[in-house]
Amino acid sequence: MAFYNRGMRATLFVGSLLVVAGAGLNAQWLKLPTPGLPRLPDGKPNLEASAPRTADGKPDFSGLWSNDGGDRLYNNIAVDLQVSDVAPWAHQLFIKRSLEFSKDSPETQCLPLGPAYLTTRYREFRIVQTPALIVIAFEDGMHREIFMDGRSLETEPNPTWMGYSVGRWDGDALVVDSNGYTDRSWLDYGGHPHTDELRITERYSRKNIGRIDAQVTMTDPKIYAKPISFSMPITLVADTEMLEAFCENHQKSRARMSLTKAAQPVQVPAGTLARYVGTYDTDGDYSSKKVITVTADGASLWLDYAGKGKELLVPLSPTRFSWYGSIVEFSTGAGTLANVAIHYAEGTERGTRRK
């Protein structure tokens, strides 16, 4: 396993690929109140207060932030597209990478996430804003530069992990256009590829002290027949500081993953998939109780976990499916669906279908 150290904060990724581990017992300024934040009578930040502005009257996006949109888009950026909207070779590559549990992903190899920074909730970031330049510094040491000095994007940029970005103001909204991403980067953890034609437009609006709303559109006509558009809520991380983070141990862990026999895709009859369709209530033994909805669309099976939106299940057998590093297993009895089990690296979550 690759270890991703983040000081005192420790989180274990759900899945079988990556462990986030903490190191150290103390950290400077970890509980220091963020200077300048408006406060409620109890001393907590007033996150609903009006957003601040810079000296030139523009909205001030400065602060420590985190994406708050869950894993759905990070797992599968094309989840709201039809399979027919994705070039066949790209869809097959996505399936292959998913079945290999993303062993070749930039994240597994401790490489920059590139466009996937826009959807992951596993990287906090600090925005530093000046009139001519906005810098987004991520906790893993990577950064983006958004040039606000009126320059245009290069027509033939030298490919990089983070791309090239120029910004402009549209009223109170910050609009950012980017290109020049290396095709070594992936659009999501599952493994959707992109080409040198990838273009990304972001539109940021600071709703209040505690939230930024981001509208993102990705286009790559060589692969995707339609733009990939989504909204991402971004929340302020108040009264703490961003800690140093680094990824390690990936060479040994990836070597072990490469020695593991890759799963092979199987074809499951539509009639079998239809038996799994329904709403399931989890038992709460693994975590708090959740509602899981399973739907079928022809030869594809989809899972919606706790109302976060449907995600593709890749069949490993007639009863077992890959869900981005976790295994979803259905069991039947006497021809009737009995339950579902989701096997994580940390444990198993079980659910019973409603009658």
CATH assignment at residue 166:
2.40.128.20
pLDDT of residue 256: 56
Write out pLDDT tens, residues 270-302: 999 999 999 999 986 666 889 999 999 988 999
Structural domain includes residue 261:
no
Which of 231, 246, 261 is at the close of a domain?
Answer: 246
218 in the same domain as 69: yes
My answer on whether 11 and 103 are in the same domain is: yes
Q: Are residues 233 and 293 in the same domain?
A: no
Report yes or no on 82 lying in a domain. yes
- Residue pair 170/58 in contact (Cβ under 8 Å)? The answer is no
Distance in angstroms (rounded) separating the CA atoms of residues 154 and 157: 5
- Looking at residue 19, its pLDDT comes to 37
Pair (277, 327) in one structural domain:
yes
Residues 347 and 199 in one domain: no
* Alpha helix stretches (DSSP H) within the chain: 72-75, 88-99, 250-259, 270-274
At 299-354, the pLDDT tens digits run 899 999 988 888 999 999 999 999 887 899 999 766 555 699 999 888 899 999 98
Q: What's the pLDDT at 6?
A: 39
Give the per-residue pLDDT at 227. 98
Tell me which residue range forms the domain holding 310. Answer: 270-353
For residue 94, give both structure tokens. Answer: 């996505």
> For residues 177 and 165, is the Cβ–Cβ distance under 8 A?
yes
Query: Which residues, in sequence order, are bridge partners of residue 143?
Result: 137
Type of residue found at 321: F
232 and 277 assigned to the same domain:
no
235 plus 339 within the same structural domain: no
pLDDT value at residue 14: 35
Asked whether residue 92 is assigned to any structural domain, the reply reads yes
| Residue 3: per-residue pLDDT | 42
Residues 34 and 159 in one domain: yes
Report pLDDT for 23.
Answer: 43
Could you tell me whether strands 2-5 and 18-21 are parallel, antiparallel, or unpaired per DSSP bridges?
parallel
- Both 184 and 286 in one domain: the answer is no
Q: Is residue 257 part of a domain?
A: no
Q: Note whether 237 and 285 are same-domain residues.
A: no
Is 38 within 8 Å of 46 (Cβ atoms)? yes
Residue 86 resides in a domain: yes
Cβ atoms within 10 Å, residue 26: 7
Specify the residue for token string 């290069």.
Answer: 154
Would residue 205 count as lying in a domain?
A: yes
Q: Which of 265, 300, 281, 272 is nearest to 340 (CA)?
A: 281
pLDDT recorded at residue 24: 44
pLDDT given at position 325: 78
Residues 135 and 170 in one domain: yes
Q: Low-confidence residues of the chain, pLDDT below 50?
A: 1-25
Any domain includes 260:
no
Domain of 349: which CATH number? 2.40.128
CB-CB contact of 54 with 205 (8 Å): no
Domain count, the chain: 2
Same domain, 26 and 164: yes
Question: Is residue 144, in this structure, part of any structural domain at all?
Answer: yes
The last residue of one of the domains, among 214, 246, 278, is: 246
